[in-house]
Structure 1
Amino acid sequence: MSRTGRALLLVLAACLGLARAGAEPPAARVSVFRAATDDEFRDLMLAAARDQPSFVMKLLLSGVDPNQADAQRNTALHKAIMEESERVVKLLIEHPQTDVNALNQAGETPVMLAALRGRLPWVQALVRRGALINEAGFTALHYACSGPDNGVAAWLVSQGAELDARSPNGSTPLMMAAGYGSPDAVEVLLQAGANASLVNDKGLSALDFARQSGRPELMRRIQAALSEPYPY
């Protein structure tokens, strides 16, 4: 365990009254985490959903695996992000044993879920911990472009996110933004050079996504991009 991780655990354990002066907390001595009992795992997921970091940390200090997953393969970090549990998200991202690239049954990683919610600080913290942004299939940029954005798309682009990444059905982040996301994300992608002429496996383009969603302003912007030489 790193010095930073051990320090974090010591501070949290002290806050919980679980560490004696000068002693390492139990989790600092745990090299292999154990599977939680049914009751412990239920409590872990409930605490993650209810933003109860003290209870989560108490379970981790007892040796419970932070990466244990439910029937949908969601970990406590997935659950905390889905429920926007601010303090538990921070705790789990900082915990040295948390797998920040864990995939749930839908193929979603924690950074995808954070991007969908437009939570830029979470996305940045996850990437600092090693979260991948250019995995095959749906990417964090697809997810950012399907939600409120709040600057997530621009930041991901600045970190090398693949502009024209293809989802399993061939859809690009620009298509997601045109159909479901923030107009700002459409502008970010076009300015960065996203290819508006691409179509997915159903033959739909970003322009078609905007049209089907009744977004005339985005239709005009995408149409203008199509008349420009590529790359824009």
Structure 2
Amino acid sequence: MTDPKNVDYHEIVRRGDTEVMEFFLKAGLDANLYDERGFSLLMLAAYNDQRPMVELLLQHGADPDSPDRNGNTPLMGTAFKGYVGIAQTLLTHNANPNARSAAGATPLMMAAMFAQQELIELLLQYGADPTLQDAKGNTALSIARANGHSHLIPLLQATQA
């Protein structure tokens, strides 16, 4: 196996070069490898909208809930960015829709903050709990209200009834 110091596996992931990454994974590379900044391969694939890479890493045992140093998971990254397809892939591989960051935020809260309606609907479908509160007592509903996303309020209110 190539010495990890000589290959930038995380850059391979960012570029979405699944053919090269598959070679390394089959040769024994840990699919849960983290970089020096605390990002897993899966986190970077999800954050850079590399769905085929996300699928490849998950097939090779990547943890769908691999957190960064702040407790953010790949699903949280997709909620922030609006990558519904990647979120679907993560959720079908058992990513936790109620995972918490260090500040207590959930993927649903992040989707509400950035007005990602389709992601909110998907997260709710997979069991996201809209009543959860972050460390400051905010819920997805209160975050949507605070950010002026009034079109999300009926959706989030309906799930709390």
- What TM-score bracket applies, with the shorter chain setting the length? 0.7 to 0.9
In structure 1, the partner of 2:63 is: 132
CA deviation vs aligned residue, 1:30-71 (integer Å, no higher than 9, x gap): x5x4xxxxxxxxxxxxxxxxxxxxxxxxxxxxxxx2x228xx
Question: How far off is 1:118 after superposition?
Answer: 2.9
Alpha-carbon distance change, 217 to 117 in structure 1, aligned in 2, over 3 angstroms: farther
Matched, 1:119 2:50: yes
Query: Percent of counterpart pairs with the same letter?
Result: 31
CA offset digits 1:68-123 (Å, max 9, x no partner): 28xxxxx71222334xx243x53124312433212234421111121123322111
Contact residue 131 and residue 139 of structure 2 kept, 8 A: yes
Query: In terms of mean alpha carbon deviation, does 164-173 or 136-145 score higher?
Result: 136-145
* 2:39 is aligned with 1:90: no
Secondary structure of residue in 1 paired with 2:80: coil
Q: What is aligned with 1:197? A: 131
Q: What is the CA distance between 1:132 and its match in structure 2?
A: 0.8
Partner of 2:10: 78
Bigger Cα Rg: 1
Which runs of 4 or more aligned residues in structure 1 lie more than 3 Å from their structure 2 counterparts after TM superposition? none
Say whether 1:109 aligns with 2:36.
Answer: no
CA distance in 2, matches of 1:217, 1:101: 38
Which blocks of at least 5 consecutive residues in structure 2 are unaligned?
A: none
2:106 maps to 1:175: no
In 2 relative to 1, CA 102–220 (structure 1 residues): closer, same or farther, beyond 3 Å?
same
| Structure 1 residues 158 and 181: CA distance shift in structure 2, 3 A | farther
- Letter in structure 1 aligned against 2:53: W
Give the Cα separation in 1 of the matches to 2:23 and 2:145. Answer: 42
Query: Under a length normalisation based on structure 2, what TM-score does the superposition of the two structures give?
Result: 0.83
Aligned to 2:77: 143
> Which residue does the alignment assign to 2:5?
68
Q: Is this contact kept in 2: 1:117–1:148, CA < 8 A?
A: no
Alignment: residue pair count: 156
Question: Against the structure 1 CA distance between its residues 134 and 216, is the aligned structure 2 distance closer, same or farther, given a 3 Å change threshold?
Answer: same
Alpha carbons of structure 1 residues 126 and 221: separation in structure 2 relative to 1, 3 Å: same
Q: CA deviation at 1:181?
A: 6.3
Cα root mean square deviation, aligned = 2.2
TM-score normalised by the chain length of structure 1: 0.60
CA contact 1:157–1:163 (8 Å) conserved in 2: yes
Range 165-174 or range 203-212, more displaced: 203-212
8 Å Cα contact 1:147/1:181 also seen in 2: no
Q: Which consecutive unaligned segments of at least 5 residues does structure 1 have?
A: 1-30, 34-64, 70-74, 228-232
